[in-house]
Chains A and B, each alone.
Chain A
């Protein structure tokens, strides 16, 4: 005679395992920031190529504002190709990627951009004002700004392709 109830022992472990799996839903990389939901601070910088870039001029576009530094490895090394790929894939649909290089030397930063063949605009935050305005605590940090110029998400640490797509896709879908 086979008993059924001993099988309740392994079955009782299932809710516990499900609870642990639930933990994955919480993404510690999505940092609640007081800035989320509020208008992004205006900035006006000059790119390494000498072109002006400002938030004002990008109104109506989805802006991915990324703070980086050449000395930040491996996180910035990891996300540089991701940002470049994202920029190439989405630029035709009104997405702008802007890199802000902080606490860095010009030479090292240019070497970094050459090595990763970055084609989106990158600018130096010369006096650190932009990183202060955005409450940047470390690098890399990435802000996703919607067409109305509001910060919609803040990402801490390297952005992955999946992060980039999910955030940008939602913002692009919104009416301008």
Chain B
């Protein structure tokens, strides 16, 4: 009964979304308020029904309703309560429902907040969002129905993919999908701008916060994904340039470009065409990402279900890309720039270059990801490019971007004078050079690491300089230090929110640089009582012990770790044996630290438990990646707070 109810809810929602989308579009053309009203009601109905379906699916999971095929595939009687909830979005059907729910949620928020503010755009925004929802509901009802039955009903389910039994799996997909779906809002506004011909700054101003929110959740999703990879997969890394990761990274790159380029349109009324193109590109890439990971056309270590869903996504992707770019061509005359670049040395140029580099990075990631396909189609050979390709091409781009991160916010608009350059950059450059010398003196010999750290110091210095100057100006007007700083952050929250986000990125850069340059690892086989040494750590193997969990067995290794500084600790990397899996899963044990993490992975062992192979890694500065994520969060919150213009005195 419950499954039929869920499937019914989705069918009705599909009808409502289709109707609402069409009604809103007609309202957009004719201006009939009653139709718009009706479309709005339909959208609210869609929200209620999709959330209802998600709740029903969760309920089916909690009740172990194995008559539902999706439940039987992704859970079994041993799955703990907590993971029965995360299992809801553990595979394709559930993630599509989750995606749909978030999209419906965004639609609802748009209705509540934009109905009055964005009157001209609103009907078309609503039509676009309901159109996208229609597509997802179509997928839910035809290509990947979450409530389809399984007969005969099995006595027990298959079980959740053990790799997904992790707390990161609650938050990672949610954040990622909030990011992906979040870009629907700017996209809908872009379509509305094109449909109405109001391609000026209005839609940009209205969508600024939406873009930031979407970008933030996407960043968060990427970071949590990295954290999951780091502490679950047991290879000691957080990023592998796997197609699935690339799929989420590409819209992040173009989304980042968008965040910056809209500022130029706001200020200088330039780049109308470029901004619209970026929005369309970013939204298309979110679809492309799902297409890539779910269609199975590109082999990935994250093996996902394949099926007709790929065809659906490709068709929709084609519709979006061709439709939106077609609108762009149709409005060509209105999109010509009214402003013009004044000088090569100016903030506009810096932002433009930032955009070019970000899009170039996005392109290289895209190219590397589809390269196997291209090679097979053109030359018929099976070739792939791996992490070396992505690193080699992207590292120079990213380093240039970090440099621009220091230049962009301080260089003058229009045309930078020597005076402006001297005033803003003499100190940061000096500090950067001193930093570089210091790093060299500290014994860092990797040119790449020195360069990355130097750039980090330079950018941090520009931010510090700007903040110090602004604070001093306030001090002169008679405020004391702390209120002056707080006042700055609150009054100019947009500017300083951006700076804090930049700081977060710098901290992440520090973590990435450190882990790439200085991590060390070894793999060794120890008899009971034997000791392995690595980077000042002594790791002694004490033995193995078995244990039985609710849905798997576990072999736990006991290792006593000492590094001469602190008291010895016991670490327990394990191997987990799930009955439904043919191979064991690693259970990593790690100790996180600001300077370095110690990371143990249990490998092979003898059946009598007297000998075990263990991989020991000392991963340097990795924690700063996660800390950078926290700073990023603070900056984002600051940036989207309502702006407070200085009150007249």
If the complex has contacts A13-B322, A13-B325, A19-B374, are A28 and B150 also in contact, measured as CB distance less than 8 A?
no
Tell me which residues across on chain B come within 8 A of A9, comparing CB atoms: 325, 328-329
The answer to whether A26 and B297 have CB atoms under 8 Å apart is: yes
* B:479-537 near A, CB below 8 Å: none
Tell me which residues across on chain B come within 8 A of A28, comparing CB atoms: 296, 299, 306
Q: How far is the CA of A172 from the CA of B518 in the complex (A)?
A: 62
CB distance from B303 to the nearest CB of A (A): 9
CB distance from B106 to the nearest CB of A (A): 26
Q: How far is the CA of A20 from the CA of B370 in the complex (A)?
A: 8
Render A84-98 as a binary contact track against B, CB cut-off 8 A, 1 for contact: 000000000000000
The answer to whether B322 and A10 have CB atoms under 8 Å apart is: yes
User: Cβ of A48 < 8 Å from any Cβ of B?
Assistant: no
* B:576-596 near A, CB below 8 Å: 582
Render B288-330 as a binary contact track against A, CB cut-off 8 A, 1 for contact: 0001000111110000001000110010011001100110110
The answer to whether A17 and B318 have CB atoms under 8 Å apart is: yes
* A:3-28 near B, CB below 8 Å: 3, 6-7, 9-10, 13-14, 17, 19-24, 26, 28
User: Cβ of B69 < 8 Å from any Cβ of A?
Assistant: yes
The answer to whether B328 and A10 have CB atoms under 8 Å apart is: yes
A: interface residue count bin: 20 to 34
Residue total for B at the interface (Cβ-Cβ under 8 A): 35
The answer to whether B329 and A6 have CB atoms under 8 Å apart is: yes
User: Cβ of A60 < 8 Å from any Cβ of B?
Assistant: no
Q: How far is the CA of A89 from the CA of B310 in the complex (A)?
A: 30
Give the nearest-CB partner of B580 in chain A.
A71
The answer to whether B295 and A23 have CB atoms under 8 Å apart is: yes
Residues on A facing B (Cβ under 8 Å): 3, 6-7, 9-10, 13-14, 17, 19-24, 26, 28-29, 73-74, 77, 115-116, 138
Q: How far is the CA of A116 from the CA of B151 in the complex (A)?
A: 9
12 contacts between A and B (CB under 8 A): A6-B329, A6-B332, A17-B314, A17-B318, A17-B322, A19-B377, A23-B373, A28-B296, A28-B306, A29-B306, A74-B69, A77-B150
User: Cβ of B443 < 8 Å from any Cβ of A?
Assistant: no
The answer to whether A115 and B377 have CB atoms under 8 Å apart is: no
If the complex has contacts A9-B325, A13-B321, A74-B69, are A20 and B582 also in contact, measured as CB distance less than 8 A?
no
The answer to whether B150 and A73 have CB atoms under 8 Å apart is: yes
If the complex has contacts A3-B332, A17-B318, A23-B297, are A10 and B325 also in contact, measured as CB distance less than 8 A?
yes
User: Cβ of B4 < 8 Å from any Cβ of A?
Assistant: no
The answer to whether B326 and A138 have CB atoms under 8 Å apart is: no
Q: How far is the CA of A3 from the CA of B311 in the complex (A)?
A: 34
* B:328-380 near A, CB below 8 Å: 328-329, 332-333, 370, 373-374, 376-377
| Residue from B311, B317, B326 within 8 A of A24 (CB atoms) | B311
Tell me which residues across on chain B come within 8 A of A23, comparing CB atoms: 295, 297-298, 310, 373
Interface hub of A3, A21, A115 (most chain B Cβ within 10 A): A21
Tell me which residues across on chain A come within 8 A of B157, comparing CB atoms: 73
The answer to whether A7 and B370 have CB atoms under 8 Å apart is: no
Q: How far is the CA of A14 from the CA of B326 in the complex (A)?
A: 12
The answer to whether B306 and A21 have CB atoms under 8 Å apart is: no
If the complex has contacts A6-B332, A9-B329, A19-B373, are A77 and B154 also in contact, measured as CB distance less than 8 A?
yes
Tell me which residues across on chain B come within 8 A of A7, comparing CB atoms: 326, 329
Tell me which residues across on chain B come within 8 A of A13, comparing CB atoms: 321-322, 325
| Residue from A3, A74, A116 within 8 A of B72 (CB atoms) | A74
